[in-house]
Amino acid sequence: MRAWASPDTTVLREVVDKLDGPSLTVRLDVTREPDWADVINQTEARFGPLDILINNAAYLRVGTVESIPLEEFQRVLDTNLTGALLGTRAAAPSMRKAGGGAIININSVAGLAAAPDPVAYSSSKWALRSLMRAAAKGLARDNIRVNSVHPGIIETPLAYGPDGNALVPVDEFAIPRNANAVQRHDVTVWPHVWSTRVPRSRNGSV
């Protein structure tokens, strides 16, 4: 059983239609707390309490400390960092009802090694890594694990600017440039069955 949330439900349905089992698609702006409440409410009504959340929303704009417009810097932080905070905050009460759960933040290699050009993206991913650690320690007592995954460059619409030009070296992608949504899903998303009974460390991470 899966609930998928995204600002673009068309792409979601393309993926979901290829999968087995019941599912739910919901439109979500991760920067809006009321949207998160709606997603959790719809998920609980359909499937019961939540036991897993994958924070996968991201926004990328290229710019250095001196060149990036402040509004673009803020939008990156709102999507990549605040969105994960709001998702974690919304999911935690539902996971307590389930007796525990797992929250996975899709981070990036940019959260391990900073780069000067995507200064906003790198900043947001380093902050997301810290948020993960703080949340893991705070939610461990409720049997809620919080972890992050740091993939390398993957070809998605995020890799391109509004003008269609690549923001990152797309010719170096491991995934074919003509990959459809289902092929990208096969590479970038792991199985959706997670155990909530795996022993955790003292800080809540595994």
Task: List active site positions.
Answer: 121
- φ, ψ for residue 196 (rounded to 5)? -100, 10
Where are the extended beta strands (E) located within 13-157?
23-27, 52-55, 101-106, 144-149
Residue that has been written with the tokens 């019941």 in this structure: 22
> Rounded to 5, what percent of the chain is helix, strand, coil?
45, 15, 40
Burial category of 101 from C-beta neighbours within 10 Å (exposed 0-12, middle 13-18, buried 19 and up)? buried
Rounded to a whole number, what is the distance in angstroms from the first to the last CA of the chain? 24
